[in-house]
Amino acid sequence: MAAVVALAFVFLFVLPISSCVRALSSNYYDHTCPQLESIVASSVKKAMSNDETVPAALLRMHFHDCFIRGCDASVLLNSKVKNKAEKDGPPNISLHAFYVIDGAKKALEASCPGVVSCADILALAARDAVFLSGGPTWDVPKGRKDGRISLATETRQLPAPTFNISQLQQNFGQRGLSDENLVALSGGHTLGFSHCSSFQNRIHNFNATLEVDPTMQPSFVARLRSVCPAHNKVKNAGSPLDSTNFVFDNAYYKLLLQGKSIFSSDQALLTNPKTKALVSKFASSQNAFEKAFVDSMIKMSSLTGGNEIRLDCRVVR
């Protein structure tokens, strides 16, 4: 995902997906750590008060965690001398806000030591990021365990911003996620920002005969080309993923129908009758989008893979 602050990605190279569905429960910590949710929410709120990009970062981090070996907090692990971890794989270089999870973990270890997994903290933080950005809230099923394996090479399993609809359907389908899940989770692009490298292919040298992607609205292309020239040298240049990129709403779908999407993978949703109908449905109804998004987040975050409780989210002991 080149450098994108939301749900970003790189080319799929089919590798075995080591994840399963573990029995999770919304009241898993009711007796062992009843203050869990308030501690995590406090950590997210504090971070958001200082950095408005935190919600998009946490949502993207959770997505990237779950798509590799299930939701096992492997994305949080640091690289070692002989092992380059997921967070240092090309699609994850721009992930940030790890300190939010660290802060929550530190507070939880002081309150209920050795009880709460880093994977559950990340799942809760992603939910809180959505809610605190004006989106829906939901009961997060809990009981995930943390994994010990984190490999940068496996980030090739993440969906790329250049994917077509067949590649997207295959990628999500391998994880038991439907077309509705695909379209709803793509709505996570309502939060965040993309660096030029992730959509340069649409606005410069699109193909042998066209300079730009003809599905894009001309004035929108002109704006993107002004901030991302062909030989861009500005490291952090890019564009918000929608017009209200700090608010969780359905503007992403409305803009997509107007030819104002950022990624090729966004536009790809309009190339299949079923996914196009879902885009139209979510564009016309925020409630329909929010319901589908919540259902899809619960389904995605139920992919589990670890087997321990990590005391330090960044290090395997």
- Residues contacting residue 261 through CB under 8 Å, at least 6 positions apart: 216, 252, 255, 267
136 is in an annotated binding site: no
86 is in an annotated binding site: yes
> Is 195 annotated in the active site?
no
146 is in an annotated binding site: no
51 is in an annotated binding site: no
Catalytic choice (31, 62, 64, 204): 64
Q: By the 8 A CB rule, do 291 and 9 touch?
A: no
HSE-CB of 88 using CA atoms within 13 angstroms: 11
273 is in an annotated binding site: no
305 is in an annotated binding site: no
102 is in an annotated binding site: no
189 is in an annotated binding site: yes
CA gap 123, 114 in Å, rounded:
18
CA gap 272, 270 in Å, rounded:
6
231 is in an annotated binding site: no
Q: Is 114 left (phi over 0), alpha (psi -120 to 50) or beta?
A: left
Complete DSSP assignment for 163-203? --HHHHHHHHHTTT--HHHHHHHHGGGGS-EEEGGGTHHHH
Complete DSSP assignment for 228-240? S-TT---TT-EEE
244 is in an annotated binding site: yes
Per the annotation, where are the binding residues?
A: 65, 70, 72, 74, 86, 159, 189-190, 242, 244, 249
Residues marked as binding for heme b? Answer: 189
Q: Pick out the residues of the known binding site for substrate.
A: 159
Which residues are documented as binding site for Ca(2+)? 65, 70, 72, 74, 86, 190, 242, 244, 249
Q: Which residues are catalytic?
A: 64
